[in-house]
C-alpha cells in the first residue's frame, strides 16, 4: 500500500468513528451494489504558518497532487485551496484556513496557545492532517471560540482530521440525480443540511452539492465530556464544461453553506 493510500485509509477510519452515519450511508450504498468513489476530502486549520494550508497539504503534494483553485469566504474569515491528482480515481483535497488576523484579540491568543502545545516532532510530521487534536482545551474556551466562529470552535475541538468525505454522485449507477440520492439518505433517517436549500449549486454552475448535518459526538474536554457536532458526509454531482471536460473546481457560494453543516443546532 502506498503512503498516500495508507493516509487516506487512516483518514477514512477516523472519519467513520467520528461519524457513524457516514459509515451507515456508505454501507447502504454498498448493499445497493454501488461502489463509492470519493469526490473530495476536506480539512480545516488556522492560518498560523506552523499549521497553515501549505503544511497540511504536504503529504498530498509529495504524492503528486497539484494546487488548483483558491477560494475566499469573507463572511467566515476563511481562505481555501483545492488540490488535484492526475489519477482521477483519487479524491480532490480541499483545505481551508481561518484568517486569524481578522479575528478578535482573544481568539488570536487562544489559537496561539493551542498551536503552541503541538510538539516540534508533531509539527514536522508529514501527516499532520491526520494527527487529530494535539492540545488540551476546556469546554468554556471552546464555547467562547464557537460564539465568534463556528469554524474555530470545531477546529479547537477536533484538530486535524478529515472534516468530511464526499460521495461522487457521478460514479453512482443507481441514482439519476442528486435529488434522488438526497431522498434516499433522508428516508433512511439521516437529516440533510438545509441551509440555503438542500441542493447547493446548479447544473449551470457545473456542481451540485448536498450534505448531512454533522453527527453529535461526545468529546472530552479538560473539564468534562460534552456532546458537539462532529463530521458530516457530502454528496457532489459534477457537470461537463463546454469543452467537454468535467468541472473539477469548487463554488465558493455553495461551499459557504456547506461549511455550516457543523454549526451547533438548538
Residue numbers of the site for ligand OOG (CB under 6 A)?
42, 44, 94, 96, 163, 209, 234, 250, 254-255, 258-259
Binding partner of 208, given ligand OOG, Ni ion, none, CB within 5-8 angstroms per partner class? none
Looking at residue 214, the DSSP 8-state letter turns out to be P
Residue 155 binding target from ligand OOG, Ni ion, none, CB below 5 to 8 Å by type:
none
- The CB density around residue 143, as the number of other CB atoms within 10 Å, is 14
Does residue number 234 form part of the binding site for Ni ion (CB under 5 A)? yes
d(CA 168, CA 241): 17
Closest to Ni ion by CB, 151 vs 221, is 151
Q: Which segment (38-46, 79-87, 195-203, 222-230) binds Ni ion by CB under 5 A?
A: 38-46
The helix (run of H) or strand (run of E) holding residue 113 is helix 105-116
Q: Which is nearer to ligand OOG, 121 or 263 (CB)?
A: 263
- Of 95 and 157, which has the nearer Cβ to Ni ion? 95
d(CA 131, CA 112): 18
Instruction: Compute how many residues bind Ni ion; rule: CB under 5 A.
Output: 2
Identify what 96 binds: Ni ion, ligand OOG, none; CB under 5 to 8 Å per kind: ligand OOG
| Nearest residue (CB) to Ni ion, 125 versus 193 | 193
Beta bridge partners of 227: 218
Scan residues 40-59 and list those touching Ni ion (CB under 5 A). Answer: 42
Query: Minimum distance between the CB of residue 223 and ligand OOG, rounded to whole angstroms?
Result: 27
19's contact among Ni ion, ligand OOG, none, with CB below 5 to 8 A by partner kind, is none
Q: Which residues bind Ni ion (CB under 5 A)?
A: 42, 234
Amino acid at each position: 500500500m502506498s503512503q498516500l493510500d495508507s493516509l487516506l485509509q487512516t483518514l477514512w477510519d477516523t472519519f467513520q468513528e467520528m461519524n457513524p452515519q457516514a459509515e451507515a450511508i456508505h454501507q447502504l450504498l454498498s448493499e445497493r451494489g454501488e461502489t463509492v468513489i470519493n469526490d473530495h476530502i476536506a480539512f480545516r486549520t488556522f492560518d498560523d504558518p506552523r499549521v497553515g494550508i501549505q503544511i497540511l497539504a504536504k503529504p498530498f503534494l509529495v504524492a503528486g497532487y497539484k494546487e488548483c483553485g483558491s477560494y475566499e469566504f469573507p463572511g467566515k474569515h476563511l481562505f481555501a485551496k483545492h488540490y488535484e491528482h492526475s489519477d482521477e480515481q483519487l479524491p480532490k483535497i480541499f483545505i481551508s484556513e481561518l484568517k486569524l488576523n481578522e479575528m478578535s484579540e482573544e481568539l488570536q491568543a487562544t489559537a496561539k496557545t493551542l498551536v503552541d502545545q503541538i510538539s516540534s516532532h508533531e509539527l514536522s510530521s508529514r501527516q499532520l492532517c491526520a494527527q487529530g487534536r494535539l492540545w488540551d482545551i476546556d469546554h468554556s474556551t471552546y464555547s467562547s471560540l464557537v460564539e465568534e466562529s463556528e469554524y474555530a470552535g470545531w477546529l479547537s475541538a477536533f484538530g486535524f482530521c478529515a472534516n468530511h468525505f464526499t460521495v461522487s454522485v457521478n460514479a453512482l449507477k443507481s441514482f439519476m440525480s442528486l435529488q434522488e440520492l438526497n431522498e434516499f439518505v433522508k428516508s433512511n433517517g439521516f437529516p440533510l443540511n438545509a441551509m440555503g436549500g438542500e441542493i447547493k449549486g446548479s447544473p449551470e454552475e457545473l456542481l451540485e452539492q448536498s450534505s448531512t448535518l454533522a453527527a453529535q459526538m461526545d468529546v472530552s474536554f479538560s473539564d468534562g465530556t460534552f456532546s458537539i457536532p462532529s463530521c458530516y458526509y457530502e454528496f457532489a454531482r459534477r457537470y461537463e464544461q463546454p469543452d467537454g471536460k468535467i468541472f473539477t473546481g469548487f463554488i465558493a457560494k455553495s461551499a459557504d453553506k456547506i461549511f455550516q453543516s457543523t454549526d451547533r443546532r438548538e
